[in-house]
A and B are shown apart, each in its own frame.
Chain A
Amino acid sequence: MSDIRQSLLPRDVLSAAKELLYHLDIYFCNLVQSGRQPPQVDSKTLELVEEFILHAPKDRNTPARRMSALQELHLLEIMCSCFQEQSRDTVRQLMFSALFSLQGNQADESRMALLGKLVSMAVAVGRVPILECAATWLQRAHRVYCVRLAQVLVDDYCSMVPGSVPTLHNIHNASPRFCCQFITAVTTLYDLTTEELTPPVELLQMIVSWIQDDPRLVLVTFLNMPLSSSQPISSLDVTPLGGLVRWCVKAPLAYRRDKKLAVTNGSSESDQAVGPLFSALHLSVLQVLMLLPNIFNEKGLFGRLALLQLESLAALTSDLSRLLDQADKQTHTSSADTHALSQLVLDRLAQALQVAMASGALLCSREDLRTICSRLPHNNLLQLVLSGPVMYYNNIHTPPLAFSPHAAHSPIPSHPAHPAHTPHTPLATHPSTHPQYPAQPFMTGMPFPFRPSH
């Protein structure tokens, strides 16, 4: 490939890029046909890509050549058709990773920019192969970059160009895999901690309608994942379930805070519709969780793969306790309203925990749960969930529904992300700091003084 460089150098920016693409196509076809396993992209090729497509400065002396936006569009268009016309998946994947797999160097910035535009354009003109490649990319790349790609799409379709939401909506038809990864990235991105990180309503509507239409969409990546495949470090979660649970649980508090801001801006009517959306989403999430036992059983993974991580739940509960505390401090007037909200939040948390544990998506002991929920205010349902079935509550070594990491001996040794075989250290119990709430201590042997109201 190195001889190509000399011929590319005198060309203008666009035609050099075009020619390089052409050469790459041929090169990868040859590579795949030669049958060498595994087909890999060598560093020389990467350098060429960086020089002639991404225009990373080769060294300090030569100034970087830049493409105009028009030329860039032209290049994108060529790439689109190039990927579209390439019939072989392997070659496509190789091309894609040659162009866009992150190398941890200076060129990554322009790489991300180009990738964002390419994917955005592929969404617009419905280039399924590119979306498929992008889905794979999203599985491999570091979550920070995944989030950036999702951000680009959300910006483009949900905020920048009005009326283009339906275009993005279509991706679940075009590429369910991409769609699933997109949802994961989006839920990772928008963690509802600040106003900036609250999903736009259009996006929320879109995701809710996707999952309602097809709950299995959430599991597409998980379903397609080969048993042996390993998750790269700090990539996205396999499913967006964790993020979705977080959304549903935190939403009432987060949007309540936003509403307070929005009242002054006079745009609160859009938030009115948010509540029902999250209710629907919560239901869908529960439904998806209910699907899991069968799938686990089919795959033989029951009790061996935690789709919900205990750590993320711990982060969620500590967030919750902080938010509830704030909410209580901020509103002295409508404490009844605040109470109702906090109960809704805790109810959703309890439901999610119960169903997740029951369906084998969450692998932990009730003791762990009690630890992470210890700082939360009192909630009947949560109390019920934490206490577990009466017959087992005394015997913590034999949890009936969920497999404790202590007991479970994972048969899947090549699962680095899952700390199944590491000895689990119970989380430290925090002393209750909420005098205004009755703390959530586990009351051994105590019958429930009252029944849940619903």
Chain B
Amino acid sequence: MLKDQVMSVVFDGSPLKAMQSSHTHTPQTALSAQELSQEIKSFISGFDTVQGRKLSVREHARCAVRLLRSVPACRGAVLEHLRGVYDEHVSAFLHNLETEGDASSGVSSNLEDIIQEVHGVLSEFIRLNARAWAPLVSTWAVDLLGQLSSKHAGRRVAPPSSSLNELLQLWMSCAATRSLMEAYSQCLAAMLAWCPDACVDALLDTSVQHSPHFDWVVAHIGSAFPGTIISRVLACGLKDFCSHGAKDQGLMIMGVDKGSRVPKIGSVVGILGHLAGHHSDSIRKELLRMFQESLTPSSPLSPTSSSTSWESSPQLRRVAVPFLLQLAAMSPNLFGAVSAELVELLRPPLLLQLQALLQGLPREELDNMLGLAVHLISQSPSGGAQVLRFLADTATPASVIISGPTPSPHEGVREGCDRLLQMLLLHLHKLVFSRSDGVEGNPHHSTSSQPQRVIPFLEELQSHVGELCAETLRLERKRHLWLHQLLCLLSVYGGPNVATEALCQLLTQARSPEELALAWQLHTTLSSCMVGLIPAAITRCVAQIHTHTLGPRQLRQLMLNLAAAIQSQDEERRSAVSTQSSMAIQVGSAVSGHLHDFAPLLLHGDPAVTHSAVRLLSCSPLPRTSSPAHLLLLSRTAVTHFFLVLRRRGEGGKVGRDGGQTGEAVNCSVLLLSRFAAYSPLTLKAVLQQIVEGALHKGNADLFGGQIADMSGAPVPSPSLSLDLGASLLDINCRFGTTVNFSGSVWSVFHAGVIGKGLKVRTSTQLLDPFEVIQNVQTLLTVIIQCCSSSGLNGSQPPSDPDEPPPINAEAAKVIAVTLVENVCPDVANGELSWPPEEHARTTVERDIHIRRCFETHPVLFPLLQIVAAGRPALCYCSAVLRGLLATLLAHWEASREASSVDSPWHLQASCLLVSCMGEGQLLPPVLANVHEAFPHLTPFEVRLLLLAVWEYVRGNGPMPQKFVFSSEKGLFCRDFSRDGDVSRYVAPIHSVLHKNIDRLGHLCWRFQL
């Protein structure tokens, strides 16, 4: 029973299955044996025996397809016949292209459907039974593709075999080749599962046979199956390379024609190069894997070698590295893909392996490889910096101080790297210099048609100049020598731009004279072939300053370096070494052109920067010509800096640090100001004016012992209590309208506070240490005196005794005088030089008080006056100030009810100083000028009497500059009092006072003899 059941199932099932299969697989009606035999006959003869006529190409092809479907034995013949059909289609296609579509497109489309049909059948077969059909069809397709592409390679429309992409485009637009390609891809996809080797080997064999016309196929297949193809192609190339040996290698470096035998490596490069477009990652991985695999010691137990066999052969492993080098040399693409990661791979263990491998090679081959490697490095468009760092790191001899990031490598490896690096430098040297030689050699050709040869390595390093400079400046053993050499090459290669950059970087980064020397070495090397390097470098530095790309430290370093450079000039001059002086002079002149660019740095927030700036400016020569705007800017900043430095010195002194530096800064500042003042009348004027104004400025007054005097007697409030009075001068002005009475008006009210609001709040002022004040005043005076005395106003410095201070220049003193007047005396009314009668002083009480208060708050005014006095006849211009002060003093002494003048110390001192100044300035004859010696011994009234005499004299003999005459023997202006009126008239009160106090003033009598 059971078996019956089974059998019935079988009977039902088997025909059904057969029918199904026959139905699905053969859509057309099955042919009888007779018909088939006819069909075969027709196919063989190309002649329709039934209808008695010749078969057309289409019919013939159709017949072939039918046979392919029904008679297995015809398979080979049919495929062979189809080759012709495909070929015909390709011919028609290309012809059509060549005639630009003159012939109707029907020619090609005629066969295109047949191609489609064949393709359909084949792909159906492959789909149904890949195992049987894929090897067959793949071999056929590849062979046919190879045949077609080399046969039609010479056609006019066919692009040259070197342009893979165009070829690919052309062939993929042709139905026949596209169909073949698809069929092959299908086969390959199916076969990859069980025998990838066979199909790829066939592909490569064909590739070799039809190279290079066939490369497009491999490339296309490769991009469809990157993983498989890439490794196979490499392995195949390696085997070929190994078998061809190193002889070719040498030839190919030289670019010798490959001759009759075309090694596969060309194809390998072409294919991989094409694939690199989309699969550079896979290629890179594969290449690196090959590299690593070839180096790792072969272990017979490793099962990984099953996929590709090259790992297992020691000979192939040995050749792998040269092969890869060769590959890289032939294709920049591949090299570019690998180089970056390769360097990272080269860790000490691997290097040791590499060394072990290379030791086994013969000398000649090794040299070849080294040359190749050098060539590659110099041609590598990217990663050059990495390579360089690696080489330098590895080649740097191990020192006690471990500098590199990697532990010191094996000595052999180090030597190898050393050698490589030196060869690289040599090679680059040759390239760089032969390049420029070539240009010079035949300028007609090379300038226009042949651009300068590009050296990618240097090209890339150009953007790393900064790092290179930094590395060089580390001054590590051999490394800085190499790098310095490289820097030179780079500069020569890159032209002025790079050279400037390098120099600029060195100038900015050098920290010591030794390091700075590298910059000069570089310059010395380059100066032979480049002009104007230093000015350009300085300009670039300045540009960097302007763009704020430099940090404070770098700024400081840069300026110190420049200053050092300029100062070296002086030393050289001293030691009479003129070889390098030109460099220092160049630096000096370059810096001088940019003084106004450095000037703002004087006011930089960082003291170190300002210090370096002042140092640079103070030692730099001044430009021959400069615009007034720049000069004014420079003078203003210099003066501002001066006061800043003074204040800093004070603070530094208080804190107790940086004493030396600030002191030096002050000295520099003084030097700068004096030099600058000596530069031109304009600068002198500007400097002096600004110094004086600055000294009197509210902010700086305290430096020189000044106190902003409060008229109010209100106590100093606690700092927490700050109240806004709500008083506004603007409001008051509005309220009072346009008529403002200055004398005794709201102004005076504001001095002491607003009426109704109580006294003005006192501000607490911090008084400086008197010692500091004295020091500051001394410094200020020094500056002013230096400015005044070193001025080039006279044109020539009179030869004078070096011990004796040079005389104060009259013009300079005049500037000071005028500035003083402007600052001390706010009211220009009654500003004429000649003095009115004493009674008239009442009209100017307000102004006079102001003047007196100025003198009170600014003790420094008296020394200034003294300076002015020394620069005769400048004191004349201070006439108004003197008059005002004298007027207030007269008023004081008149009102004073003290017993002795000593009881009003300030007034006494002021009177003495005033009179002595006027005497020094020769506003008074010596007799009158000496009266101040008596003041301390007199009563206030008597002092007033004497001062009145002074006033009278000046009123009678006006302080006019034209009364002074230049005496060339003294180098000074002098006043001849004999030309003025009789002095004795004014001396009478003096004598009276003498008489009155003869007991105390006896010793002074001789001073008042006419």
**Neighbouring A residues of B24 by C-beta, 8 Å:** 162-163
Indicate if the CB atoms of A165 and B71 lie closer than 8 Å.
Answer: no
A160 and B13 form a contact (CB under 8 A): no
- Measured CB to CB, the closest approach of chain B to A31, in angstroms, equals 29
Q: Is the CB of A160 within 8 A of B133?
A: yes
Q: Does A7 contact B (CB under 8 A)?
A: no
**Nearest chain A CB to B302 CB, angstrom units:** 29
Whether the Cβ atoms of A162 and B125 lie closer than 8 Å is yes
- Candidates B14, B34, B69; contact of A163 at CB < 8 Å: B69
B9 partner, pick from A74, A125, A169, A276, beta carbons under 8 A: A276
In the assembled complex, A419 has its CB within 8 A of some CB on chain B = no
Other-chain residue from A73, A161, A205 in contact with B69 (beta carbon distance below 8 A): A161
| Count of A interface residues, CB-CB < 8 Å | 42
Given contacts A69-B80, A124-B33, contact A165 B40 (CB under 8 A): no
Q: When the two chains form their complex, are residues B73 and A276 in contact, meaning their CB atoms are under 8 A apart?
A: no
> What is the predominant secondary structure among interface residues of chain B facing chain A?
helix
Contact flag A163-B25 (CB < 8 Å), given A205-B18, A209-B14, A276-B6: yes
Q: In the complex, A205 Cα to B30 Cα: how many Å?
A: 20
Smallest CB separation, B567 vs chain A (Å): 87
Contact code string A167-204 (vs B, CB < 8 Å = 1, else 0): 10100000000000000000000000000000001100
Interface members, chain B 98-155 (any A CB < 8 Å): 124-125, 128-129, 131-133
B38-78: contact bitstring with A at CB < 8 Å (1 yes, 0 no)?
A: 00110110000000000000000000000011111111110
CA distance in complex: A74, B125 (Å): 25
Which residue of chain B is the closest to A121 with respect to CB atoms? B73
Does B307 interact with chain A (Cβ within 8 Å)?
A: no
Q: Which residue of A lies closest to B7 (CB)?
A: A280
Indicate whether B10 reaches chain A with its CB closer than 8 angstroms. Answer: yes
* A77 at interface by CB-CB < 8 Å: yes
Q: Is the CB of A125 within 8 A of B14?
A: no
In the complex, are the beta carbons of B10 and A276 less than 8 A apart?
yes
Contact B73 A162 (CB under 8 A): no
Question: What does the 1/0 interface line of A65-99 toward B look like (CB < 8 Å)?
Answer: 00011101110110010000000000000000000
Q: Which chain A positions have C-beta within 8 A of B15?
A: 209
Asked whether, in the complex, the Cβ of A161 is within 8 Å of the Cβ of B17, the reply is no
CB distance from B233 to the nearest CB of A (A): 30
Most chain B beta carbons < 10 A, residue from A68, A73, A157: A73
Please determine whether B70 and A73 come into contact, CB atoms closer than 8 angstroms: no
- Give the chain B neighbours of A118 by CB distance below 8 A: 73
Query: Counting CB contacts under 8 A, is A300 at the interface?
Result: no
Q: A77-B44, A124-B70, A159-B132 are in contact. Are A166 and B77 (CB under 8 A)?
A: no
A272 to chain B, nearest CB (A): 10
Q: In whole angstroms, what is the CA distance A74 to B47 when docked?
A: 13
Asked whether B21 is an interface residue with its Cβ less than 8 Å from the other chain, the reply is: yes
Select which of B25, B80, B128 is within 8 A of A70 by beta carbon.
B80
Residues of A within 8 A of B68 (CB): 161
By the criterion CB–CB under 8 Å, are B132 and A160 in contact? Answer: yes
Is A120's beta carbon under 8 Å from chain B?
yes
Q: Is the CB of A205 within 8 A of B72?
A: no
Take A72-B77, A73-B76, A124-B72 as given contacts and tell me if A165 and B44 are in contact as well, using a CB distance cutoff of 8 Å.
no
Q: Check: A335 CB closer than 8 A to any chain B CB.
A: no
Measured in the bound complex, the distance between the Cα atoms of B129 and A121 in whole Å is: 21
For B21, list chain A residues within 8 Å (CB): 162-163, 165, 202
CB distance from B85 to the nearest CB of A (A): 13
Given the interface pairs A159-B132, A166-B18, A277-B14, the reply to whether A124 lies near B71 with Cβ below 8 Å is yes
B144 to chain A, nearest CB (A): 13
- Which residues does chain A contribute within 8 Å of B125, judged by CB atoms? 160-162
Shortest C-beta distance, B416 to chain A (Å), equals: 52
Q: Which of B401-437 contact A (CB under 8 A)?
A: none
Contact at B10–A279, with CB atoms within 8 Å? yes
Q: A126-B33, A163-B26 are in contact. Are A76 and B73 (CB under 8 A)?
A: yes
**A-contact bits for B778-794, CB 8 A (1 contact / 0 none):** 00000000000000000
Give min CB distance, A374 to chain B, whole Å. 29
CB distance from A66 to the nearest CB of B (A): 12
A contact residues around B11 at 8 Å (CB):
212
Say if the beta carbon of A346 comes within 8 Å of chain B: no
Within 8 A of B (CB), among A274-297: 276-277, 279-280, 283
B33 touches A125 (CB 8 A): yes
Count of chain B residues near A, Cβ 8 A: 46
CB pair B44 A205 closer than 8 Å: no
B81 at the A interface (CB under 8 A): yes
Given contacts A165-B22, A205-B18, A277-B10, contact A69 B77 (CB under 8 A): yes
Contact A283 B7 (CB under 8 A): yes
Counting CB contacts under 8 A, is A117 at the interface? yes
Task: Decide yes or no: A159 and B70 within 8 Å by CB, A77-B40, A124-B33, A125-B36 being known contacts.
Answer: no
Chain B's closest residue to A70 (CB) is: B77
A78 to chain B, nearest CB (A): 9
CB A274 to nearest CB in B, in angstroms, measures 10
By the criterion CB–CB under 8 Å, are B72 and A208 in contact? Answer: no
A169 to B44, CA, bound (A): 26
CB distance from A29 to the nearest CB of B (A): 24
Q: Assess the B72–A157 pair: CB atoms within 8 A.
A: yes
Kindly supply a per-residue 1/0 record for chain A positions 250-289, scoring 1 wherever the CB is within 8 Å of any chain B CB and 0 otherwise.
0000000000000000000000010011011001000000
Determine how close the nearest CB of chain B comes to the CB of A348; give it in whole angstroms: 12
A164 and B14 contacting across the interface, CB-CB below 8 Å: no
B3 on interface, CB distance cutoff 8 Å: yes
Complex Cα–Cα for A201 and B3 (A): 20
Docked pose: A165 CA to B80 CA in angstroms: 25
Residue of B nearest to A286 (CB): B3
Partner of B13 from the list A72, A163, A276 (CB cut-off 8 Å) is A276
Contacts of A212 on B, CB cut-off 8 Å? 7, 10-11
Contact B76 A69 (CB under 8 A): yes
Interface 1/0s, chain B 922-947, versus A by CB < 8 A?
Answer: 00000000000000000000000000
Residue from the list A76, A208, A283 in contact with B3, Cβ < 8 A: A283
Find out whether the CB atom of B37 lies under 8 angstroms from the CB atom of A125.
yes
A19 close to B (CB within 8 Å): no
- Could you tell me if A156 and B10 are in contact, using CB atoms closer than 8 angstroms? no
B80 and A279 form a contact (CB under 8 A): no
Q: Say which residue of A120, A283, A454 sits within 8 Å of B72 (CB atoms).
A: A120
Would you call B129 and A160 a contact (CB within 8 A)?
Answer: yes
Is B69 touching A208 in the complex (CB atoms < 8 A)?
Answer: no
Nearest A-chain residue to B74, judged by Cβ: A73
Chain A positions 205 through 229: 1 when the CB is less than 8 Å from some CB of chain B, otherwise 0: 1001100100000000000000000
B79: Cβ under 8 A from any A Cβ: yes
- Are A160 and B75 in touch, CB under 8 angstroms? yes
A109 lies within 8 A of chain B by Cβ: no
0/1 interface trace, chain A 394-417, chain B, CB 8 Å (1 if under): 000000000000000000000000
Residue A155 at the B interface, CB < 8 A?
yes
Choose among B13, B73, B77 the residue that contacts A156 (Cβ–Cβ < 8 A): B73
* Residue on B nearest A153 in the bound complex, by CB: B72
A227 to B125, CA, bound (A): 47
Contact A166 B22 (CB under 8 A): yes
Could you tell me if A205 and B73 are in contact, using CB atoms closer than 8 angstroms? no
Contacts of A202 in B (CB 8 A): 18, 21
Q: Which of A127-175 contact B (CB under 8 A)?
A: 155-157, 159-167, 169
Q: Which 10 A-B pairs have the closest CB atoms?
A: A163-B25, A126-B33, A156-B72, A162-B25, A69-B76, A163-B26, A73-B77, A121-B73, A120-B73, A69-B80
| New contact pairs (7) apart from A126-B34, A162-B25, A283-B7, CB-CB < 8 Å | A74-B44, A120-B72, A160-B132, A162-B26, A162-B128, A162-B129, A202-B21
Taking Cβ atoms with an 8 Å cutoff, the residues of B that contact A are 2-3, 6-7, 9-11, 13-15, 17-18, 21-22, 24-26, 30, 33-34, 36-37, 40-41, 43-44, 68-77, 79-81, 124-125, 128-129, 131-133
Can you show 29 pairs from A to B with CB atoms below 8 A apart? Answer: A69-B80, A72-B77, A73-B40, A74-B44, A76-B73, A118-B73, A120-B73, A121-B74, A124-B36, A124-B70, A125-B33, A125-B36, A125-B71, A155-B132, A156-B72, A160-B125, A162-B124, A162-B125, A164-B26, A164-B69, A166-B30, A202-B18, A205-B14, A209-B15, A212-B7, A212-B11, A277-B14, A279-B3, A279-B6
